[in-house]
Structure 1
Amino acid sequence: MSTAPGFVAVVAVTLATLAIGTWGLRFSRTTSDFFVASRTVRPGLNASAIGGEYLSAASFLGVAGLLLTFGAEMLWYPIGWTAGYLVLLVLVAAPLRRSGAYTLPDFAEARLGSRSVRNTCSVLVVAIGWLYLLPQFEGAGITLAAAIDAPRWVGPVVVGLVVLVNVGSGGMRSITFVQAFQYWLKLTALLVPIAVLLVIYAQDNVSGESATAAAWSVPLGGAGAQGLYTTYSLVIATFLGTMGLPHVVVRFYTNPDGRAARRTTLVVLALLGVFYVLPPLYAALGRAYGADPASSDTLVLDLPRLITPGPLGDVLTGLVTAGAFAAFLSTSSGLAIAVAGVLTQDVTTRRLPEVTAFRVAAAAAVGVPLVAALALPDVGVARAVGLAFAVAASTFCPLLVLGIWWRGLTAAGAVAGLLVGGAGSVAAVGYTLAHESSEGWFDVVVGQPAAWSVPLAFAVMVLVSRRTTAPAHARRFMVRLHTPENLDLDRS
């Protein structure tokens, strides 16, 4: 098997990423440029950048692998990841931008006037960011091992170094251009190979695995009550978790105003809808050509050579390798920006100049999950991302929805709900990552916690808030959140 196309693809993507990031550095002059690109990113560019950072290892590699192994019920992952932006559009995007915050902890403190709420949010942002970074680094190791026979540690180290250079040099302003480029690269890297492979498939007239085709296409796969619970819990996590992902939310702070934030979200929905048509096609072809489910995480990388061995297969493999590597770089960059922003404001900036503090924080944001990925190389890519969504849905979703739409939310209620939802979902994540899955109800309920942890967090926030006093400025702040910018005379 030739490793040259994969090596060329990785080098080309790395050089292009560094070149675009260096070019974007020319526009990064102020602290605001580093954190939110001075709030001047237009909807089209911002939507491409969001697509670039949101379509992670789980989207590029994991969806096709899950569909190959478990069948059509796994379509809930891409459906939920896309529909989450519809919920974000309706409930969160414009008011969040009008808040004037830099980060989720900024919003929480401004809305509730409490340092305790801010500190709790900061811990959760860092935890979710690191949990989400872990599968990105693991996916990079899998990709380079499959494409160029590199040791599994090489991928995480290369991605970590490239991300650190880009994020540390230009911050949000620089990364915006990089991520926008990487969305279109990822789309091309899936679209061109699948178009070629479908033509070959039509010529080959492969019949596929007819014995399992019927069961594979049934959305719940005959799993009964446990299957229903898993599906509903997954839907809740993916629909509601998007608004709680720190690297997604921070991008809405870069829009000029609330109207631009809504337009950005609409464009993102279109971009994600186009992209998520493609991974199921890879899974279907994998089934037809008898791909091994044991290596499902590398299906997208292996399929071109499986269907068309030879130079054409090598070229197509190089292209999908480039897209996969771009996925790790773009998502990791967005997460590093979000985590570094929080660490800068709440930890390092007290003793260092802001830009220097941001770079130190970026090193911590990348370094901790990198070490974890090297120590834990076998965490499932899509599985870990799904758990990160469950934690986000159980914490920041209730905070944002109630904080934006209910004046009665109090600091005590917010902290109580964040602690209950966060503790429950994080404990479930820890248990799930530490144990092999089984068929018992306990493992099923803990393995997909969103169905109980999200309602529990909402209930605790409401009940505790009703027994405590809302901040005095709540009414004025709510007016600010819901007043269009051309009528808001007191916005920052």
Structure 2
Amino acid sequence: MSSGLLLVVLLAAVGAVAVLIRPQRASTLDFYLAGRRVGVATNACAICGDYLSAASFMGVAAAVYASGLDGMWYAAGFAAGFVPVLLFVAAPLRRFGEFSIPDFLGKRLGSDGARLTSVAVVQLVILAYLVPQAVASGIIWELAVGRGLGGLPAYTTGVLLSTAAVMLMVALGGMRGTTWTQAVQFLLLLAIFLWLVAVIAASGFSYPDALRELSSRPLANPVDDGGAWRLEPVPNRLDPGAPAFFGEPGGQYGQLEQGALIVSLAMGTAGLPHIMNRYFTSPTGTAARMTTVWVVGLAGLFYVLAGLLGIAARSIVQDASADTPWVDRLTTGGVLRVPEHAMPVLGEVFGGPAGLGAVAVGALLAVLSTIGGLLLASAASWGHDIYERYLNPRATQRQALRAGRGAVVLVAALSAALALAVPPESLSGQFPSIVATMVTWAFVLAGSALTPVFILAIWWRRTTGPGAVAGMATGTAVAVAMGAAGLLLGDAGAAQALLTPTLVSAPCAAAAAVAVSLATRPPKDVDGMWTRMHGTAADRRAVRLARLTMAGLGRRSREHRDGGRR
């Protein structure tokens, strides 16, 4: 079966599953949170399927391929992101028990302003994450199929078909259907990585020997010189004037830039809407914490394999380009012009058309899985936090579900339009992996605007609604301003650090939130909120009993007064 046919079958299967798993009678709790009945292992695999996007499946190996050791900072940052979630967020967030990040902030801080501001930031983060997924789907289709449908270019066809398929799945299946498909998709992604690493090793390839050989000569990558591609040595960011080497740091980032990237990725994970919403699906806070432990282990294994495949691709593709015309057309001097082609080329070299098809299917699965989670998070923000609370507070379940599904369609269409407006060729020369880089911008925005406020709301009693609004606005403004400056500077000086400004923007957001919180009145019932997040089960039962007792005493007192008047 050709790779193109495999992709068509996959997209058709996703659409068929969407119809089969469509619940006959569903509530908003089922649609957004799968009834809060998702088990630990299933949720861990689903979170991995949600999190390990095209940036992980294609982008990490591509970044290692293009910049060597510096590409592994993506793997380290992506994997480390769940450590703060495990330590500070997972259990308290689930114990509080709302639908979404805006719902949590609105209830915890008693603030409509915090809810509405976080809805706006959540939508920005979701769009920043959705666009590179759609870009990746176009790249996959263009490489694996090579032609479009209905007169459309191949890239456009891939973007439109993948977006339409997952939009159908989410709109019909909701969180329950998306959870099971994401869990299965992650296991398939992991199986493809394990197969590819194993088959490469079985061919006699030695990863340590390849790393030593690659590190023995200066690193060089293709650059577009007015339409004519040529190899150009990569400068060492840690030692200006010296060449970079594959196995040494400095191929893409200086010391400040390395730290900025890792902090941005680690901070950003705790603010990603589609990941945090999954913790509301766990039955208990303990289950949420254990789910994160599983995720740390599974994600760590996945990223180790991605790094190994990046090393293998850099060594193997050069030889393959001399023997395989298909590979030669993608390279300059034996080096791939688009680093994201590294994984598909490895599949072709070691598995022929079937291997290319398997990798293409895996990459598209990664895209579809992540798009599904993002669309659900967007639907929760629009449908639950805006429509049900402000536009139509008396909405029936049918009306609320219709609003959520409508939000899925609109956001999917917008992300596809943006992906088509920004073709990958326009930026691929500036970054080691355009997909991984674009996803990093979503992490930056989440880590700058949402994570500081999120953690303060969980761990600092004095946090207020105006403080949260100030923190989110400050984090967003600083991150966007610094990122725009980095894009304008291009390849100069501190441009890379400015593109990952969380080291600056997150402290600015936290400082603004603290300053304004200290100057404003804290929300009511802080103690009750605190017990709800951090207290033991016995504490929470005691608080509920006390409230019921006080309510009963108040009712009796009113009855006594009324009786005295009579």
Q: TM-score range by the shorter chain?
A: over 0.9
Q: Are 1:167 and 2:170 an aligned pair? A: yes
Q: Secondary structure at the match of 2:2?
A: helix
Quote the Cα distance in structure 2 between the aligned partners of 1:203 and 1:387: 35
CA RMSD, 1 decimal: 2.2
Of 524, 527, 530, which residue of structure 2 is paired with 1:472? Answer: 524
Instruction: Please give the secondary structure, in 2, of the residue aligned with 1:255.
Output: coil
2:145 is matched with 148
Which deviates more, 208-217 or 261-270? Answer: 208-217
The aligned residue for residue 415 of structure 2 is 369
Q: Distance in 2 between matches of 1:328 and 1:230?
A: 28
| Structure 2 letter corresponding to 1:481 | M
| Structure 1 segment 349-364 matched on structure 2, within 5 A | 349=388, 350-351=391-392, 353-364=399-410
| CA pair 173-473 structure 1, distance change in 2 beyond 3 A | same
Which letter does structure 2 place at the counterpart of 1:75? M
In structure 1, distance between residues paired with 2:448 and 2:94: 22
- Cα deviation for residue 28 of structure 1 reads 6.1
Deviation by residue 1:270-311 (Cα, 9 ceiling, x = unmatched): 111121121112211122122524220111011233x44xxx
Q: Is the 8 A contact 2:531 2:539 kept in 1?
A: no
- Cα drift, residue 201 of structure 1: 4.2
Instruction: Indicate the residue corresponding to 1:300 in structure 2.
Output: 343
Q: Is the 8 A contact 2:482 2:498 kept in 1?
A: yes
Q: Is the 8 A contact 1:85 1:269 kept in 2?
A: yes
- Deviation string 1:379-409 (CA, Å, 9 cap, x unpaired) is 5211111111011001111111110110011
Tell me if the contact between 2:93 and 2:533 (Cα under 8 Å) persists in the aligned partners.
yes
The code of the aligned residue for 2:363 comes to A
Please say if residues 273 and 374 of structure 2, whose CA atoms lie closer than 8 Å, have aligned partners that are also in contact: yes
Task: Name the % identity.
Answer: 34
Does the CA contact (< 8 Å) of 2:486 and 2:496 recur in 1? no
Corresponding residue to 1:459 among 490, 498, 511: 511
Partner of 1:484: 536
Q: Give the match's secondary structure for 1:195.
A: helix
Would the alpha carbon gap of residues 23 and 268 (structure 1) be closer, same or farther in structure 2, given more than 3 Å must change? farther
Residue 184 of structure 1 corresponds to 187
Q: Which residue of 1 aligns with 2:304?
A: 277
Q: Are 1:67 and 2:97 counterparts?
A: no
**CA distance in structure 2 between the aligned counterparts of 1:430 and 1:161, rounded to whole angstroms:** 31
| Residue 555 (structure 2) aligns with | none
Report the CA distance between 1:313 and its aligned residue: 2.0
Is 1:447 the counterpart of 2:490? The answer is no
**Residue in 1 that maps onto 2:363:** 324
Q: Is the 8 A contact 1:68 1:296 kept in 2?
A: yes
Letter of the 2:288 partner, please give it.
A
Contact 1:416 1:464 in 2 (8 A): yes
1:95-134 superposed matches below 5 A: 95-134=92-131
Question: Offset at 1:69?
Answer: 1.0
For the residues of structure 2 that align with 1:55 and 1:44, how far apart are their CA atoms? Answer: 16
* Matched residue, 1:265: 292
Question: Residues 107-131 of structure 1, C-alpha deviation per residue, up to 9 Å, x if partnerless?
Answer: 1111111111111000000110011
* Match 1:381 to one of 435, 449, 456: 435
> Aligned ranges for residues 192-271 of structure 1 at < 5 Å?
192-202=195-205, 208-209=213-214, 210-212=216-218, 215-221=245-251, 227-271=254-298
Range moving further from structure 2, 205-214 or 68-77: 205-214
Distance 1:464 1:436 in 2: 33
Q: What residue identity is the alignment partner of 1:65?
A: A
SS of 1:468's partner is coil
- Describe the SS at the equivalent of 2:26: coil
The answer as to 2:468 corresponding to 1:438 is: no
The AA in structure 1 aligned to 2:248 is: V
Check whether the contact 1:257–1:485 (CA below 8 A) recurs between aligned residues: no
Unaligned runs of 5+ in 2: 148-153, 220-243, 319-333, 428-433, 545-566
CA change 1:93–1:130 in 2 (3 A) is: same
DSSP-derived class of the 2:540 partner: coil
Query: Given the alignment, which residue of 386, 389, 394 partners 2:448?
Result: 394
TM-score scaled by length of structure 1: 0.92
Bigger Rg over Cα? 2
- Evaluate the alpha carbon distance shift between residue 203 and residue 96 of structure 1 in structure 2; reply closer, same or farther with a 3 A threshold: closer
Give the Cα separation in 1 of the matches to 2:411 and 2:483: 20
Maintained 8 Å contact 2:39/2:287: yes
The aligned length equals 479
> CA shift at 1:24, angstroms?
3.2
Query: For 2:356 and 2:538, how far apart are their aligned partners in 1?
Result: 51
State yes or no: 1:422 paired with 2:471. no
After superposition, what is the alpha-carbon deviation per residue over 1:40-59, rounded to whole angstroms, capped at 9, x for unaligned?
A: 10111111110111000100
